[in-house]
Chains A and B, each alone.
Chain A
Amino acid sequence: EDQVTQSPEALRLQEGESSSLNCSYTVSGLRGLFWYRQDPGKGPEFLFTLYSAGEEKEKERLKATLTKKESFLHITAPKPEDSATYLCAVQESGGGADGLTFGKGTHLIIQP
């Protein structure tokens, strides 16, 4: 059973058409939830970290929110340069140095 599930798998929007990406997670204790952007042929680029339910972070046209079971990445009035794959990852609490558990990503295309 996947611990991190992202939906939709792919999303095509018109420029300026706002939408949201979903990341649902099942971990016993959440240490942090991370959003990354990945462009083709590149490594993931860090966007946000969220630690507790109710927390929100914003950067330009992106806003990430967190509840006890899921996170949303809201994209407001997107531009073609926002086209990328958006990855969600979680880190479980426990004090260790374990890595992140990633979802499969949402491939976002913004058409001009």
Chain B
Amino acid sequence: NAGVTQTPKFRILKIGQSMTLQCTQDMNHNYMYWYRQDPGMGLKLIYYSVGAGITDKGEVPNGYNVSRSTTEDFPLRLELAAPSQTSVYFCASTSQETQYFGPGTRLLVL
């Protein structure tokens, strides 16, 4: 099992551009999450999903959208990138109430 994989590893966006952060897990987990981590701050929950077709907002959802068409994939969409979205983004999936994290995507918006 590869676990939780994320692509890309690093991306630079211009203000107003859009992009999709990819997250895939091969463990057949129903629950998946997106977090962002800013320097010196704890991880903040953006969106989560309890299964294909079901998503819900977390603590900081503004400026983001998600979809969950399959159990394996949980992409995060930024429609109009803003400098405040410069961060490191982590995807996670849950097995027996423990969240396992991917390696992260570092995003820089200039």
Contact = CB atoms under 8 A, between A and B. Distances in A.
Contacts of A89: 42-43
Interface in A15-67: 31-32, 34, 36, 41-46, 49
A103 interface: yes
A43 B90 contact: yes
B74 interface: no
A98 to B, nearest CB: 7
Nearest to B33: A99
Interface string A84-112: 00010101000001111111110000000
A103 B104 CA distance: 18
Contacts of B56: 97
Contacts of B104: 41-43
Nearest to A43: B101
A104 B42 contact: yes
B94 to A, nearest CB: 8
Nearest to A51: B97
A91 B101 CA distance: 16
Given A34-B99, A99-B35, A104 B90 contact: no
A85 B20 CA distance: 28
Interface string B24-45: 0000000101010000111111
Please list the 5 inter-chain residue pairs (A to B) with the smallest Cβ-Cβ separation, ordered nearest first: A102-B42, A43-B101, A99-B45, A102-B43, A97-B50
11 contacts: A4-B42, A31-B97, A34-B98, A43-B101, A46-B101, A87-B42, A89-B42, A91-B97, A98-B45, A98-B58, A102-B43
